[in-house]
Amino acid sequence: MKEASYLALTQESLPPRLAGIPAVTERLGRAHDTWRVKEVGDGNLNLVFIVESSEGSLIVKQALPYVRLVGDSWPLPLYRAFYEFNALMRQAQRDPGAVPEVFHFDEDQALIVMEFLSPHVILRNKLIAGEKVAGLGAFCGRHCARMAFRGSELSMKSADKKTDVGVFAGNIEIPAITESLVFTDPYFDAEMNTHTAGLDPLVAKLRSDVALKCAVQSMLVKFSSNTETMLHGDLHSGSIMATETDIRIIDPEFAQYGPMGFDIGTLTANYLMAYFSQPGHRGADLERYQDWILSVITDSFEAFDAEFRRLWATERSGMLYPKSLFEDQGHGSEPACNAMLEAIWQDAVQFCGIEMHRRCLSLAHNADFETIKDAQTRAGLEARNLEMGATLILSADKVKTSQALCALARTFNGKDVL
Amino acid sequence: MKEASYLALTQESLPPRLAGIPAVTERLGRAHDTWRVKEVGDGNLNLVFIVESSEGSLIVKQALPYVRLVGDSWPLPLYRAFYEFNALMRQAQRDPGAVPEVFHFDEDQALIVMEFLSPHVILRNKLIAGEKVAGLGAFCGRHCARMAFRGSELSMKSADKKTDVGVFAGNIEIPAITESLVFTDPYFDAEMNTHTAGLDPLVAKLRSDVALKCAVQSMLVKFSSNTETMLHGDLHSGSIMATETDIRIIDPEFAQYGPMGFDIGTLTANYLMAYFSQPGHRGADLERYQDWILSVITDSFEAFDAEFRRLWATERSGMLYPKSLFEDQGHGSEPACNAMLEAIWQDAVQFCGIEMHRRCLSLAHNADFETIKDAQTRAGLEARNLEMGATLILSADKVKTSQALCALARTFNGKDVL
């Protein structure tokens, strides 16, 4: 990548700069001075523009050479756009329709031109607003299963998968963010950490729990030294856009190879944080809406399980658990599939607990809690979330099913932890 | 690599072709027509020449574009010399003195010029001949611990380690050999398999054991989707050269990233096969020599454990289990080190059992058994080895220590399995 030629787009410079790209003019027309451009990047890392004309619309996403949330004191390589583009290609192939269509990629400018999803809004905002999305759990569970299975050597040719591991091994700084912000910083007084006033005693307790820290670090070993499949790497409710009935997965710039349970575990944590934060947002319909959130979790794992089993039976063409060893010998391979799903579940439970912690303890908190203005209310709800997270990390082996996970959530939801 | 320019060396062509390499003439002198060249490659894959002159000696190892053991019907990329060279560099850095010194590397010709070890002989031959090597277990255990620790993100900077994972991800065909010959072929009637007459009923029993096959495949998932550290990848008694007192590790062309327990587990299997095969080779001194072999195993794990703990305390500068989370907070990290060593041990036990199987069931049997001429004797001894291998794979969690492993070996050594 010739970083020298890179230039961040502005609302003003975007139309003339993109006017020569056929994939753009095909959709917006050639009269670029009539295009309407709006910068809407509300994430932590990038510029995001909606560009509209009388003929059509699209999104232009451009990486910035630093962490937007922090500023240019935290540089971040532009090459992440290359990984995001590559991840989007693989997602589209492995779960057609699940991600925005990509129209154009410019590696030098670290920009991706893609489908503008409308009237989709960020799922996290819907969860805060108390809005339901039909089929959410089924869609996301199926998506995670397809990505897990089809990106692994259960399905891929070894040569293709190993080559791809080599490609993604070049992405160093992005995984490093997760490694520190998610797995390490929450558990000591790291520089950029913040937490809600009132949580001090609980935070001190968590940070002095050596068994907890050991368990989290053992999951960091798995996260950083495991190449089972290509992960989204940052699958939370801000990485999903939805209408009442349509759902898309966005923003895979944290894509990396990692353990199959990571994405669905992280996503589950975000549902649980939505669940625990609801008393700060809802009135009369609180209980019913919380029930719905938990149903999304059980739907997710039910769909993951069903889809993984379907793919195991129909698409197991890789070198792992080959049919030559099982079906071709008249031996069923269900015990192996069961064991693999159980291992994925256990990993997911622990990753879930870790994500629940990091969103309240280190940088990059989430709006579910942050938009609760009263600090005392917020602290009380975050405390339930933190305590349940610790239980999941330390006692994952006692939480056998998603139903048990949800029952545990109900228990903590009724507790005054502080 | 410009494969077009590659030309396999012969005893005749070697001197003129290497006469222009300073690293060679420095050691052998310029009178290349006086050099004595002997091809000694007894392995499965390469040409190996000893080159001597009145001034010195060296080894020239050149990859062949096919598997020597099978012939040109099984092509194998020359780039494996690149990985062997890179592995030798890392081994020399992580455990100075443990591997032959490299004098010269020619990527196009897939050849490495290196130190000629003399009067070292292949350890496997010593084990068959009943010869002891002082300090063998301590050396190999320490070596495996250094390679495991110093090649991981316990020690390395993440960026360096991830870049290296990317480099080694380009090595596809070599790991593929291990993946099929070690983990899959032994458990069904694969084309190139052979086993000793008389083992048929036992082999049939192993191949119909679905739990066994599932357990082995779960270890294949670990072997192929884990990048904890850089492995030797083929550490058996044919990859070690020794005198009575000096030991070197050779032939890391199967180097890849993988789980920390793989190398020491594989090596242990080779000691156990040496142990079980001894009644085919020894007379009066049988029991004493078998005891010595088992002492090498316990010495190995004792040294591994001690060295890993020493490095944990003194060289833990990577991102995993950072001191900022533990020692800097006044919290000991011993529980984490204990847990990691336990996980390495469990993996090692299962990899050990798998290696014990593959050496009797698929291609590339080892001389410990193969040199026993009487097929009935051989079958009986191999059967003990196969049965113990199955126990290790299926019940690794019940074998808690290397002492317990050796006690188990003694039990099988007294059994008439067939």
Instruction: In whole angstroms, give the CA distance from residue B252 to residue B230.
Output: 10
Residue A121 φ then ψ, to 5°: -125, 160
Q: Is B327 on the interface with A (CB under 8 A)?
A: no
Confidence check: pLDDT of A70 > 80: no
Confidence check: pLDDT of B285 > 60: yes
Determine the average pLDDT of the residues in B85-101: 98
Q: Is A197 on the interface with B (CB under 8 A)?
A: no
Q: Do B371 and B269 form a contact (C-beta atoms < 8 A)?
A: no
CB pairs under 8 A between A and B: 145
Total-model pTM? 0.96
Taking Cα atoms as reference points, which of A373, A383, A388, A375 lies closest to residue A416? A383
- Dig out the tokens for A345 from the structure: 């579940």
Identify the residue among B155, B203, B225, B228 best suited for mutation to test binding to A, counting A beta carbons within 10 A and taking the highest. B225
Interface contact B320-A221, CB threshold 8 A: yes
pLDDT, position B324:
96
| Partner-chain residue, chosen from B208, B214, B228, that has the shortest CB–CB distance to A225 | B228
| Confidence band of A3 (pLDDT split at 50, 70, 90) | low
| Confidence band of A1 (pLDDT split at 50, 70, 90) | very low
Lowest mean pLDDT among A201-215, B34-48, B100-114, B287-301: B34-48
Chain B nearest-CA distance from A110, in A, is: 21
Interface contact B179-A165, CB threshold 8 A: no
Lowest mean pLDDT among A259-268, B35-44, B390-399: B35-44
Determine the average pLDDT of the residues in B80-109: 97
Residue type, B125: N
Instruction: In whole angstroms, give the CA distance from residue A341 to residue A351.
Output: 15
B165-184 residues touching A, CB cutoff 8 A:
165-167, 169-170, 172, 175-176, 179-180, 184
Q: Is B188 on the interface with A (CB under 8 A)?
A: yes
Q: How buried is B393 (Cβ within 10 angstroms: 0-12 exposed, 13-18 middle, 19+ buried)?
A: buried
- Dump pLDDT digits (tens) for B176-203: 999 999 999 999 999 999 999 999 999 9
Instruction: In whole angstroms, give the CA distance from residue A192 to residue A186.
Output: 10
Taking Cα atoms as reference points, which of B353, B299, B267 lies closest to residue B136? B299
Q: Do A348 and A264 form a contact (C-beta atoms < 8 A)?
A: yes
pLDDT, position B3:
54
Identify the residue among A174, A177, A221, A312 best suited for mutation to test binding to B, counting B beta carbons within 10 A and taking the highest. A221
Q: How buried is B259 (Cβ within 10 angstroms: 0-12 exposed, 13-18 middle, 19+ buried)?
A: buried
pLDDT, position B359:
97
